[in-house]
């Protein structure tokens, strides 16, 4: 793993939150939210910025909540939370 001194990741794909974040991007793309997905991909490229870390963390938390939820339409639930 390639980490800097301050525990941030050089490459976002190494970040433990990356799989959930990219799963959300895939969901957006599958629902034709292409611009939103593109914007989030740009956020991932600059994941080290504090405002982007907050967005990434919030999406990952909501994805975890949706994954353990008994709701039929988890995507709709997730959109309401964000």
Give the pLDDT confidence of 2-47 residue by residue, as tens digits: 444 344 557 888 889 999 999 999 999 999 999 999 999 999 999 9
CA distance 74 to 52: 23
Q: Which residues of 5-29 are buried (b: 16+ CB within 10 A; e: fewer)?
A: eeeebeebeebebbebbbebbebbe
**Cβ(11)–Cβ(2) below 8 Å:** yes
Give the global pTM.
0.71
């Amino acid at each position: 793993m390639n980490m800097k001194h301050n525990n941030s990741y050089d490459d976002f794909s190494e970040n433990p939150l990356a799989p959930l974040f990219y799963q959300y991007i895939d969901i957006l793309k599958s629902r034709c939210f292409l611009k939103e997905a593109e914007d989030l991909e740009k956020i991932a490229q600059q994941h080290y910025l504090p405002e982007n870390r907050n967005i990434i963390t919030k999406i990952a938390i909501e994805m975890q909540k949706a994954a353990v939820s008994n709701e039929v339409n988890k995507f709709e639930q997730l959109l309401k939370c964000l």
